[in-house]
């Protein structure tokens, strides 16, 4: 599915960074390394690299990687991008100053496992950044399919699931909010999202 979505010339979710991600990167003056799981076509990875961060990203889509590297070349930055199953990749052998899950919705049978491994890869005081569709988003998706997001409620986020999967974090921000997405062809309209910023306890 993802190779098919990313195969066209156009960027499925645009080339501008996610608004929440941009706000956090700009407002917190992050330094060092950042991990971006499920990074797709690279819009957030490239923005982070332009902000001076050392970027490692991964996805299951080779088409996504190809377009991410093309975007990075256009913007004159370097990103490290791997394709495959998370636990098989070399980037799991490193530590990071930050990680960001931006609309990275994993299948329910692996989601918590992935989240906990990502948390493990963060250094003490490392920052976890997340924006994703909430369980409350399903009703909005039924009214307007153009807003996108998984149709499986088990792939969506809640405040409880965040606290369960990231227990060793000081919560700096955790909220469910309505936002108007304008991200390429597949995220358009009023959406209900979970936003989380957590600081890993030492």
Token look-up 């997001």 returns 149
151-190 pLDDT per residue, tens? 899 999 999 999 999 999 999 999 999 999 887 677 878 9
Q: How far apart are CA 93 and CA 84, in angstroms?
A: 15
Q: How far apart are CA 121 and CA 101, in angstroms?
A: 14
Strand pairing report for 96-102 and 33-37: parallel
- Give the CA distances from residue 93 to residues 2, 31, 171, in Å, rounded to whole numbers and listed in that order: 26, 20, 26
Spans in the chain with pLDDT lower than 50: none
- Structure confidence at residue 137 (pLDDT): 92
Residues in contact with 142: Cβ distance below 8 Å, sequence separation at least 6, in sequence order: none
- Structure confidence at residue 15 (pLDDT): 93
- Give the CA distances from residue 138 to residues 93, 175, 178, in Å, rounded to whole numbers and listed in that order: 36, 17, 13
Cα dihedral sign for 68, 32, 58, 196?
A: negative
Q: How many domains does the chain have?
A: 1
- Structure confidence at residue 81 (pLDDT): 97
pTM: 0.94
Q: Which domain holds residue 129?
A: 2-200
Q: How far apart are CA 103 and CA 83, in angstroms?
A: 18
- Structure confidence at residue 188 (pLDDT): 78
- Structure confidence at residue 121 (pLDDT): 98
Classified as helix, coil or strand, 20 is helix
Q: What is the CATH number of the domain that holds 62?
A: 3.40.50.150
Classified as helix, coil or strand, 136 is coil
Q: Distance of alpha carbon 48 from its chain centroid, rounded?
A: 12
């Amino acid at each position: 599915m993802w190779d098919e979505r990313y195969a066209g010339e156009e960027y499925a979710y645009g080339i501008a960074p996610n608004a929440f991600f941009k706000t956090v990167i700009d407002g917190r003056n992050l330094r060092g390394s950042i991990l971006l799981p499920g990074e797709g076509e690279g819009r957030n990875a490239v923005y982070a690299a332009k902000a001076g961060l050392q970027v490692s990203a991964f996805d299951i889509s080779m088409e996504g990687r190809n377009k991410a590297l093309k975007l990075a070349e256009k913007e004159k930055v370097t990103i490290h991008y791997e394709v495959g199953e998370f636990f098989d990749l070399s980037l799991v052998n490193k530590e990071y100053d930050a990680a960001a899950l931006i609309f990275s919705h994993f299948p329910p049978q692996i989601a918590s496992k992935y989240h906990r491994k990502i948390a493990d890869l963060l250094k003490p005081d490392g920052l976890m950044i997340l924006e994703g569709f909430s369980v409350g988003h399903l009703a909005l998706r039924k009214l307007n399919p153009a807003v996108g997001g998984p149709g499986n409620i088990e792939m969506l986020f809640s405040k409880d699931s965040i606290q369960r999967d990231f227990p060793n974090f000081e919560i700096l921000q955790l909220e469910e909010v309505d936002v108007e997405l304008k991200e390429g062809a597949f995220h358009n309209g009023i959406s209900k999202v979970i936003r989380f910023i957590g600081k890993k306890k030492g």
